Chain A
């Protein structure tokens, strides 16, 4: 078996390969960004006349981020199958390194989306977060949670027939704990620094960390069955 330092190095090799491919083709990023900006425009267009609660704003933000993730995070796996490069990857890289690389790639991709969508959302909704640091933490950990639940789902979907529709259907129930905690923490960040808000947000942050860790650990245990069958 590969040692952990090899695993890290080989995962980074897969990440670097995906980034290079992405940079050359913009296969994922341009479509995902266009999608998320469109979704954001639709949301802001339809709700801007109303003044919304922080909870509602947070929910809208994460709906946009969730569906952006659903439009982008399956692509790196689906591409390997469609371009039929998965075979070469399968005979040369360890399953763990493939999972690690794709997970990192999805984290990078979804972070890029969040880095554009979150500020744009605040601008369009004319919102000043009461606790910017908490907002950054919620966005970052929510992104991590989305990437960690959907990477293995992406691998599953890439090996099934109805790839497009299936991804959101499979990913939503499993992403729900991460999603609802991210919404909770974001709402607290938008609302302010009340003491009870801080404890609520702390619980949400803990759930996000534990959930991401659990998803990554179980994915590592199960990925081999998805990748090699």
Chain B
């Protein structure tokens, strides 16, 4: 949508991030720096802390030790600005089942404080091959359709940071290639973090973190 995002480089820095829940340590001193144009791939067996690391990078979860920094054009951005900064996809993300897809997208856009027209919504849905289904309630969507809808949600504010937890969960082959194209396209203007166990998606990473080895 906007072009000035390209001019300013976004940087995500994880500085020796650890996270424990009570006595259980989930992450142990993870460090990485990713910039616009790069992809960070996080991989590891189930329960190794991939989702937790994504949420820490979102600053939805506070690390026990270490810190997470966001910089846009060299300027540090506070955690409260996260809703303008991050595009977030996760299996934990759910929409309002009783509202239609278009109503969901319109609400989230209003909550983010951005203006969005019906045409914007329709074209976003069409690009995800959900054209004509915007008036259906999300409760009637299949899990693959919901996964596609998440991309419309995550990209509607053109965020500089894209955090994708299991980006192709529940998707058919067409959906998978759609998402891979989307990642390739976004790479130039965004900083991308992917948590996945799909070898093809791990291969997209410029930097790779293996958790729980």
| A interface residues, Cβ below 8 angstroms from B | 1-2, 6, 9-10, 13-14, 16-17, 20-21, 24-25, 83-85, 87-94, 97, 228-229
Q: How many residues of B contact A (CB 8 A)?
A: 25
Which of B22-30, B104-112, B171-179 lies at the interface with chain A? B104-112
Alpha-carbon separation in the docked complex, A24 to B107 (Å): 16
**How far, in angstroms, from A91 to B98 measured CA to CA in the complex?**
20
What are 6 A-B interface contacts by the 8 Å CB criterion? A10-B113, A91-B58, A92-B83, A92-B108, A94-B80, A97-B111
| A-binding residues in B (CB < 8 A) | 58, 60, 62, 80, 82-83, 86, 88, 90, 92-99, 103, 107-108, 110-113, 153
B107 near A85: Cβ-Cβ < 8 Å: no
Determine which of B58, B62, B90, B99 lies in contact with A24 in the assembled complex, contact meaning CB atoms within 8 Å: B99
A87 touches B94 (CB 8 A): yes
B81 nearest CB neighbor, chain A only? A1
Given known contacts A87-B92, A92-B112, A92-B153, what 7 new A-B pairs fall within 8 Å (CB)?
A: A6-B113, A24-B98, A24-B99, A88-B95, A91-B58, A94-B83, A228-B60
- Asked if B111 and A93 sit within 8 Å, CB to CB, the answer is yes
CB-based closest 6 A-B pairs: A13-B110, A93-B111, A24-B98, A84-B94, A17-B107, A92-B108
Contacts of A6 in B (CB 8 A): 113
Q: Which residues of A contact B108 (CB under 8 A)?
A: 88, 92-93
Secondary structure of the A side of the interface? helix
The distance in angstroms between the C-alpha atoms of A2 and B83, with both chains bound, is 11
Contact between A10 and B110, CB atoms less than 8 A apart: yes
Q: Return B184 CB to nearest CB of chain A, in Å.
A: 24
CA distance A16 to B96 in the complex (A): 13
Residues of B within 8 A of A9 (CB): 110, 113
A130–chain B nearest beta-carbon distance, Å: 45
A88 contact from B80, B94, B110, B113, Cβ within 8 A:
B94
Tell me whether B96 and A93 are in contact (CB under 8 A). no
CA distance A88 to B83 in the complex (A): 10
Which residues from A are CB-within-8-Å of B153?
88, 92
Closest B residue by C-beta to A94: B83
Contacts of B94 in A (CB 8 A): 83-85, 87-88
Report chain A residues within 8 Å CB of B90. Answer: 87
